[in-house]
A and B are shown apart, each in its own frame.
Chain A
C-alpha cells in the first residue's frame, strides 16, 4: 500500500530512491527538476503549466516532478496525481516561494505532518529581499525541524548547497495538537502508514477507500491547527523593511492602471499584429512558402515522385496533385503555418514569462464580467490565439462550470488560432485599413453579443477575480526559444496527420465527383447568400477539418476584396477543428460540444451573409 496508485503509468525502477519535487503552483519547481535531471520542462509565470508527471535520473535516484498544489488532497485530478507521487516519495524537496511564505508553508507543514523526510528549497530569495522581507533561516529551520536552503532558481543560486543536503532530508516538527494526533495514531494502528493515516483523518475519500475505511471529518479542524501553526512561524521569522519600489514594481503598477495599462495593451496588440501579420505573414512566409516550398521544394518532389508513380493516377493525385499530401499539405504546414505558429508562440512566451499575462487578466476583468466571465478568462482567450485546442484545456482554470461553458463557446466561435490568424492577417493586410477595421469590428461584435447572450440565458453570474501577480521580470531568452520550439513541434505532430488525412479526403471527394456535387448543391447558398464563387466551398470543407486549413485554402482563390472579407469572416467564425472538438467533448460532454459546433455554423454563415449584404 506504500506506493503506486498512478505511478504504474511511469516507467520507474522500483529499486531506486524516489526524490519528489513538491510545491505550490508557479514556484519554479521545473527549474530544479531541469537542474537535477538535465531535462527540460516548460516554465511559465502563470499557475498550472506543469500538468504532466516528469521523471529523470539523479545519481542513483529517480527525481519526479509534480503538478503545483496548495496541499496534499484529492480536490482535482492534478492533486490526486501529486498526492500519489508524494505518498510514494522517499525524500521530498519542497520548493517554497519566499515571498509567499504564509501560503506555501501550509504544504510544507502538511508534508512534515505526513511523516515524510523533507528538505526545503526556499526559492525567490532575491524577490523577497527586493520587497524588504528579512527571513530568519536558522529560526525557520528550528521551527520546522528540517533543513532549509535559500535559493534563486533562475541563477541556480543555492543549488549546489541543496544538492549537498538532499541526503540529509529529515522528518520535522508536527503541527497537530494532542486531540488530532491521538486520532491519527488510532487510524494508524489499522493503516500502518502515517502519511495515509493523516489523509484519512483529513477526509481523503480515495486514500480511505484504499484501506477499506470511511474518511474522517476532521479536515477543517486539522487545517486550522496547521494554519495557526504556520501563521505563528511566519510571525516569528519574518521582519519587513521599508523599500523603494523596484523598476519591475513600477512597470507592474503601470500595466495594472487602466489609464496607462489599456494604451500599453493596445500597443502590445499592435506590435503583435506588426510582428505576426506583417513581418511573419508577409516577409517570412514570402520566403518560406513562395521561394522555398513552391519554387524549390514542389518541383523537386513532383519530379521525384513522377519517376515512380504516374501523376494522373489516383495515388499520384493523392501524393502530388492539387491537394497532394506531399505538395499542398507539406507546403501549408512547413511553408505557411509553421512560421506563423512559431512566431505567435514566441510572442506569447515573452508575455507569459515577463509576468504580463496575469496583469492583462486584472486589467480586462471588468469588461469580461459583461460576458459572464472574469479576468482570469483572458488566459485561455489569449492562448486560444495560439491554439484553441490547448486553450480549451486551460478553461479548467476558471472558477465555475458556467464560466467554462461561456469560455469554451467563445473560443470555439470567435477566436482564430495562430495558424489561422496568420493566414487571415496575410490576406487582409493588402486589402487596406477599411477592410481590416470591418473584419475586427465584426468579429468583436459577434464575440461580445454571443458572450452577453450566454451571460443572460445561463443562470448565475461571474465569479470574483483572485489571481496571483508574479513579479514583472525580463524573460530568459533561452527559455523563450525552447518553449517556442516545443509548442511548434506539438503543432506539427498534432496538425500534420489531420492535415494529411484531410488532404486525402478532399482529393478522394474531388476524384469521386462528390466535391463538385457538394459545390453545386450549396452553390445557391454560397453564391447567392455569401456572394462568393462556388469554389470557396472547397476551402470551407477543408475548414471543417481545421479552420487554418480552410483559411489557407482561400489563399489560392481569386477573390475580390469584398469576397475576401466575407470569406475570412465566415472561416473565422467557422466550426472548431477536429482536435478542438475532441477536447470540448472531453471537457464538456458531447451535447455541449455539438451545440458549439452547430452554433458556429449558424453564426458563421448568418454573419457572413449579413456582411455581404452591406459592403
Chain B
C-alpha cells in the first residue's frame, strides 16, 4: 500500500494539519504532537520535508 498522507502531520486529538515541522504542540488543541504520521511505518514527516 502506497503512503497517501503526503507527509502531512495531523494532530491526533483534533485532526488539525500541521505544516510547521518545528511545532511540538498543536496550536489549536494544545496536544502534544507525535513525530511521525499515523498511516505509514516508513515515512516520517521530518524525513519527507
Interface residues of A (CB under 8 A from B): 24, 70-71, 75-76, 100, 102-103, 106, 220, 223-224, 226-227, 399-402, 458-461, 463-464, 466
Question: Can you list the 4 inter-chain pairs with the closest CB atoms, starting with the nearest?
Answer: A227-B27, A70-B14, A75-B15, A70-B29
> Chain B residues with Cβ under 8 A from A463's Cβ?
12, 34, 38
Which of the residues B1, B12, B14, B27 comes within 8 Å of A224, measured between beta carbons?
B27
Judge whether B30 and A459 touch: CB under 8 Å: no
Judge whether B38 and A70 touch: CB under 8 Å: no
The prevalent SS among residues of B at the interface is: loop
> Chain B residues with Cβ under 8 A from A461's Cβ?
41
- Give the docked Cα–Cα distance between A420 and B38 (Å): 34
Judge whether A106 and B34 touch: CB under 8 Å: no
- Give the docked Cα–Cα distance between A463 and B16 (Å): 16
Chain B, 1-33, CB within 8 A of any chain A CB: 1, 12-16, 18-20, 27-32
Which of the residues A75, A402, A464 comes within 8 Å of B16, measured between beta carbons?
A75
- Give the docked Cα–Cα distance between A413 and B43 (Å): 31
Q: Say how far A345's CB is from chain B's closest CB, in angstroms.
A: 28
> Chain B residues with Cβ under 8 A from A459's Cβ?
1, 40-41
- Give the docked Cα–Cα distance between A459 and B42 (Å): 10
Judge whether B29 and A71 touch: CB under 8 Å: yes
8 A-B contacts, Cβ less than 8 Å apart?
A: A70-B13, A106-B29, A220-B20, A227-B28, A399-B38, A458-B1, A463-B12, A466-B31
Q: 12 other contacts beyond A24-B29, A71-B29, with CB at 8 A cut-off?
A: A70-B14, A70-B16, A70-B29, A71-B14, A103-B30, A220-B18, A220-B27, A227-B28, A227-B30, A401-B39, A458-B1, A466-B31
Judge whether A226 and B12 touch: CB under 8 Å: no
> Chain A residues with Cβ under 8 A from B19's Cβ?
220
Which of the residues A75, A100, A460 comes within 8 Å of B14, measured between beta carbons?
A75
- Give the docked Cα–Cα distance between A76 and B16 (Å): 10
Judge whether A106 and B30 touch: CB under 8 Å: yes
- Give the docked Cα–Cα distance between A400 and B15 (Å): 11
Q: Say how far A154's CB is from chain B's closest CB, in angstroms.
A: 24
Identity of the chain A residue whose Cβ is nearest the Cβ of B1 in the assembled complex? A459
Identity of the chain B residue whose Cβ is nearest the Cβ of A79 in the assembled complex? B15
Identity of the chain B residue whose Cβ is nearest the Cβ of A100 in the assembled complex? B30
With contacts A71-B16, A399-B12 taken as known, whether A466 is within 8 angstroms of B32 at the C-beta atoms is yes
- Give the docked Cα–Cα distance between A458 and B38 (Å): 13
> Chain A residues with Cβ under 8 A from B40's Cβ?
459-460
